[in-house]
């Protein structure tokens, strides 16, 4: 291409810098499809292509291009340009700039900054992301964490995230949290890669358990403390609500009712006045007290690294919990017994889904950057970009 003129405000269709480019006739045009030289088939076509701004001025390339008759492809194609795709409206270097800006700014902000359509910005960002993160890389996976993330309220708003536990890299993301979701992930793995999975940290969630057992029967499933405590929070809630009803006629009711927060919060995080409130509350209510103390005891099971001791702690916990004599508690004990294998497996692999909290913490920012959740594939790519992981491996335990 030869630059014919580089005068500002030439062909004043839009203020800015206009650069007219004509084909260099000393060379044969190249076929866009295969890159081989061909012969000129048609000429005189023109396209306006936006380039990087020149200072404060928007820069437009007025490009004349040709169609090439290509022997190799057996048809006429648009000629290949080094600086832009003749079918696109922006140059390669502007596209690259958009991609870099999109790492830092929202799609809307980039669009506003460059005076482009947000759809164009998103399409460019997605194109580069797809090239960089679109392929699922399961090489070298041995310990993974699987969890769901809630994008919006309601059942449809879930995505499943698979994380390389040792590097923190988001390996895969897919819509939903059912068996089909995980099947889609395992489909990306070779048999050897599946056999290399040693341990999986997750919640006590049957669809995940089922598919991990099916695809990686050798892998140890580890249920993490975070989800166990969260599940136990429901027991606390049920007992608390019941105590509120019982005390409804007395003024105690209001007191217990406003106590949800101090009961569910971690004891270390309580402010001094909340500590006082908690103490008063537990003194006033025996059953609530028992349920609450058991919450701390539950964490003890995870302190032991020897399976025998952890098992003993778990048995002791269940014996104490039975004393509470409440259906919600009995149901929870049943759950613990049912999932005991995965709770005790933490002795072999002291792993948890907590690295996935990084994903949850970044979701709001990524959501803003990704222009909302309308395009789950784009969103997943943005998450992978935000959590590429580190090279060195984390110590387990
Ligand atoms: Zn060709």
**Per-residue pLDDT averaged across 354-371, rounded?**
77
Contact 57, 19 (CB under 8 A): no
Note the pLDDT of residue 344: 97
Greater pLDDT, 63 or 15: 63
CA of 36 to the centre of ligand 1 (A): 6
Note the pLDDT of residue 149: 86
Residue 10 pLDDT > 50: no
CA of 94 to the centre of ligand 1 (A): 26
Greater pLDDT, 366 or 189: 189
**Per-residue pLDDT averaged across 353-364, rounded?**
79
Looking at the chain, the whole-number percentage of residues with pLDDT higher than 90 is 61
Residue 7 pLDDT > 80: no
DSSP assignment of 53-65, as one string? EETTEEEEEEEEE
CA of 34 to the centre of ligand 1 (A): 4
Greater pLDDT, 318 or 260: 318
C-alpha dist (Å) from residue 170 to 144, 215, 226, 378, 392 = 10, 20, 20, 14, 15
Note the pLDDT of residue 284: 66
Note the pLDDT of residue 177: 92
Could you tell me how many helices (H) and strands (E) the chain has, helices first?
Answer: 16, 10
CA of 246 to the centre of ligand 1 (A): 82
Contact 46, 65 (CB under 8 A): yes
Buried b (16+ CB within 10 A) or exposed e, 14-40: eebbbbbbbbeeeeebbbbeeeebbee
pLDDT band of 153, cuts 50, 70, 90: low
Question: Tell me: the pLDDT tens digits for 264-306?
Answer: 777 778 888 888 777 777 776 778 888 888 998 899 999 999 9
**Per-residue pLDDT averaged across 181-204, rounded?**
96
Note the pLDDT of residue 50: 95
Least confident of 99-113, 136-150, 223-237, 345-359: 345-359
CA of 329 to the centre of ligand 1 (A): 71
- The residues near 179 (Cβ < 8 Å, ≥ 6 apart) are 207, 210, 211
CA of 170 to the centre of ligand 1 (A): 39
CA of 70 to the centre of ligand 1 (A): 5
Residue 43: exposed, middle, or buried by beta-carbon count in 10 A (0-12, 13-18, 19+)? middle
CA of 98 to the centre of ligand 1 (A): 29
- What DSSP character marks residue 140? T
CA of 35 to the centre of ligand 1 (A): 6
Greater pLDDT, 197 or 243: 197
CA of 382 to the centre of ligand 1 (A): 35
Note the pLDDT of residue 185: 97
Note the pLDDT of residue 348: 95
Residue appearing with tokens 């290509």: 70
Note the pLDDT of residue 369: 75
- Give the residue from 61, 87, 62, 76 showing the smallest Cα distance to 31: 76
Looking at the chain, the whole-number percentage of residues with pLDDT higher than 70 is 89
Least confident of 171-180, 254-263, 272-281: 254-263
CA of 64 to the centre of ligand 1 (A): 20
- The residues near 223 (Cβ < 8 Å, ≥ 6 apart) are 201, 202, 203, 204, 339, 342, 343, 345, 346
Structure tokens at 269: 């995080």
CA of 386 to the centre of ligand 1 (A): 38
Greater pLDDT, 13 or 380: 380
- Look over the chain and give the mean of its residue pLDDT values, rounded to a whole number: 87
- What DSSP character marks residue 80? P
CA of 81 to the centre of ligand 1 (A): 14
Note the pLDDT of residue 220: 97
Greater pLDDT, 367 or 118: 118
Residue 55: exposed, middle, or buried by beta-carbon count in 10 A (0-12, 13-18, 19+)? exposed
Question: Tell me: the pLDDT tens digits for 81-129?
Answer: 999 987 789 999 999 999 999 999 999 999 999 999 999 999 999 999 9
């Amino acid at each position: 291409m030869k630059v014919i003129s580089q005068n500002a405000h030439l062909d004043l269709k839009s203020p800015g810098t206009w650069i007219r480019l004509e084909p260099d006739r000393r060379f044969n045009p190249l076929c866009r499809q295969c890159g081989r030289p061909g012969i000129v088939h048609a000429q005189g076509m023109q396209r306006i292509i936006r380039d990087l701004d020149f200072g404060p001025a928007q820069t437009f390339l007025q490009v004349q291009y040709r169609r090439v008759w290509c022997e190799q492809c057996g048809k006429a194609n648009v000629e290949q340009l080094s600086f832009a795709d003749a079918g696109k409206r922006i140059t390669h270097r502007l596209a690259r700039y958009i991609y870099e800006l999109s790492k830092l700014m929202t799609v809307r902000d980039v669009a506003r900054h460059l005076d482009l359509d947000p759809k164009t910005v998103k399409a460019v960002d997605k194109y580069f992301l797809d090239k960089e993160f679109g392929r699922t890389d399961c090489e070298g996976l041995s310990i993974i964490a699987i969890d769901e993330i809630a994008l919006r309220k309601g059942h449809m708003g879930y995505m499943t995230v698979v994380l390389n536990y040792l590097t923190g890299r988001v390996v895969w993301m897919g819509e939903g949290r059912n068996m089909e979701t995980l099947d889609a992930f395992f489909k990306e793995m070779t048999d050897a890669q599946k056999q290399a999975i040693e341990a999986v940290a997750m919640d006590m969630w049957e669809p995940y358990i089922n598919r991990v057992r099916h695809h990686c029967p050798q892998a140890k499933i580890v249920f993490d403390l975070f989800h166990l405590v969260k599940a136990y929070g429901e027991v606390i809630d049920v007992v608390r609500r019941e105590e509120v009803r019982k005390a409804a006629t007395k003024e105690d009711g209001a007191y217990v009712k406003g106590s949800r927060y101090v009961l569910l919060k971690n004891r270390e995080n309580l402010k001094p006045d909340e500590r006082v409130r908690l103490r008063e509350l537990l003194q006033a209510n025996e059953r609530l007290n028992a349920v609450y103390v058991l919450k701390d005891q539950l964490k003890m099971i995870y302190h032991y690294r020897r399976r025998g001791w952890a098992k003993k702690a778990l048995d002791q916990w269940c014996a104490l919990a039975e004393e509470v004599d409440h259906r919600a508690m009995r149901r929870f004990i049943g759950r613990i017994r049912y999932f005991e294998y995965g709770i005790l497996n933490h002795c072999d692999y002291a792993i948890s889904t907590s690295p996935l909290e990084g994903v949850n913490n970044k979701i709001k920012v990524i959501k803003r950057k990704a222009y909302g959740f309308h395009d789950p594939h784009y969103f997943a790519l943005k998450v992978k970009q935000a959590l590429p992981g580190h090279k060195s491996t984390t110590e387990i335990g």
